[in-house]
Amino acid sequence: MREIYKDIMNLRNRVFSEVARIAYADAPFEELESAAFRLFPNAQGIERDNVFRQRAIAEEMIRLTMGLGIREFDENVPITDGFDKVDMDVNVFQIPIVDVIKFACEGCPERQHYVTDICQKCMARPCYNTCPKDAISFKKDRAVIDIDKCVNCGQCKKVCPYNAIVEYERPCVSVCGVDAIENDENGLAEINHDKCVACGRCVTQCPWGAIGDKTQIYQLVKALKSKNKKIYAAVAPSYVGQYGDNVTPGMLREALRQIGFEDMYEVGIGADMTTLHEAKEYLSDVPAKVPFMGTSCCFSWSALVELYFPEYMHMISDTGSPMRYTAEHIKKIDPEAIVCFVGPCTSKKAEAIKTGVREYVDFVITFEELLGIFTAKGVVPAEVVAEEEIENSSRSARGYAQAGGVAAAVKEVAEKLDPTREIKIEGANSLEECIKLLNLAKAGKKDGYLLEGMACPEGCINGMGTIVSLPKVKRALRNHMKVAEIETPFDNEVVEKVIEELQ
């Protein structure tokens, strides 16, 4: 979906790179006030009904990129309102992270069924005969559905021999697994933040780019420019393929250094640590203390359990996420280190606010946001020359990026720690599937299992902050796992101390 929605991605990249450029230049706030005009100096190339609306939308995107909330219709404040509170070189994030840009929302039709011109008004009339609410009638050319009577059961669509009946729904609503997208008084989309778990799938699904998330681009660039700060990038395994098919870890490391980073670490280091800790926790706690255990890597999965299945929150592993362990590892090596996690999703931004994580993780940006910074500095990772390559994570750690990879890694290690145990695993990758899996566990059908939950279909390689298409990333990840010199966490010298603690 990311590459298919390239016009929206291009607009986001232009906004991200403009904010990064202003931060690198130490430009005054007046530059931000005129940024939307520079992005759209005339009516050429706009996707909206007029250039003024396009600029208004761009201004809200700039505010989100600065880490600020969007303005509502009834707020008469300048674009720079609140800029003084975020004009710094530290993380100033506040929730909510994901929100709707009302100026951009088209108020798409809500879920309903519709008879298209393909209808042949046939003699059999199966649609009419199967409708339980008498909602179908016939006009001159085709059948018509009375939306006031229709209950969207879908029976008419199923039985139509011409496939002439379609079902449509708001794209943002269709992908929200927790029903957090509602309507405001004007019929525009609105996020119920009491329900939202910040997975960000609505951001990528909206074909108008009307939903966005706050970024830390401005603050991170300010920190990168500081001569007194050493910023380390902790890059998630799903980065492979994002910046070009042939971009190696060493090339990405050099590209990061060119924009101001001190060094780069693969988050696979932390993934190996998570695997070891989680395997030990499973062996000691299941079934002695809890009937099943859930993985802890995906923050949206954990937030889902906390919000909707709070009675099972103690069954989610206490093990830290790979992001947290990698950041902790970096700060042990360099106590002055400032760590920026670079990954595929927006929920890590929420995780980094948590107590127990925020003391290790200072910034969080997505692959897409990093691309905006590269663009601002004219750095192309595919064109840099690497001085040396990086090899500090195992094959199984790199597999964390795909659905099922976490559970498979934990199972492999747990079976080595205790060959007598049978380790049963099962996973779900989408919030809808996660809820189904938890309901099965609630019914006692998953006792003894290690349950892996991922908010994004196919896992982190399909996160909202990724850049390229899923098939490309899957291919790149397979190759990345294949060439790994370290097979399992037991072979990783970096986590040797953790291994000793588990013996």
- Rounded to the nearest integer, the mean pLDDT of the chain is 94
**Backbone angles phi and psi of 444, in degrees to 5:** 85, 15
Better-predicted residue by pLDDT, 84 or 196: 196
Q: Give the separation between CA 8 and CA 18, rounded to whole angstroms.
A: 15
Cβ atoms of 303 and 453 within 8 Å: the answer is no
Q: Does residue 193 have a pLDDT over 70?
A: yes
Mean pLDDT, to the nearest integer, of 329-354?
95
430: number of CA atoms within 13 Å, CB side? 10
pLDDT at position 156: 97
Share of the chain above pLDDT 70, in %: 98
Beta bridge partners of 226: none
Residue 356 has pLDDT above 90, yes or no: no
Q: Which two tokens stand for residue 333?
A: 């090596």
Q: Is the dihedral of CA 431, 436, 437, 441 positive or negative?
A: positive
Q: Which of these CATH numbers, 3.50.50.60, 3.30.70.20, 3.40.50.300, 3.20.20.450, describes 112-168? A: 3.30.70.20
Token pair recorded at residue 196: 């939202």
pLDDT-derived band at 500 (thresholds 50, 70, 90) equals: low
Which residues, in sequence order, are bridge partners of residue 265? 234
Q: Among the listed ranges 160-164, 233-237, 246-250, which one has the minimum average pLDDT value?
A: 246-250
Min mean pLDDT across 18-22, 32-36, 343-347, 352-356 is at: 352-356
Contact 366, 260 (CB under 8 A): no
Residues 144 and 138 sit within 8 Å (Cβ to Cβ): yes
pLDDT tens sequence across 119-175 = 999 999 999 999 999 999 999 899 999 999 999 999 999 999 999 999 999 999 999
313-330 pLDDT per residue, tens: 999 999 999 999 999 999
Q: Is the pLDDT of residue 97 over 60?
A: yes
CB 173 within 8 A of CB 195: no
From the DSSP assignment, how many helices (H) and strands (E) are in the chain? Answer: 21, 15
pTM over cut 0.75: yes
pLDDT at 160: 98
Strands 136-138 and 263-266: unpaired
For residue 499, name the pLDDT band (cuts at 50, 70, 90): low
Among 480, 330, 327, 316, which residue's Cα sits nearest to residue 405? 480
What integer pLDDT is reported at residue 47 of this predicted model? 74
Residue 215, pLDDT > 80, answer yes
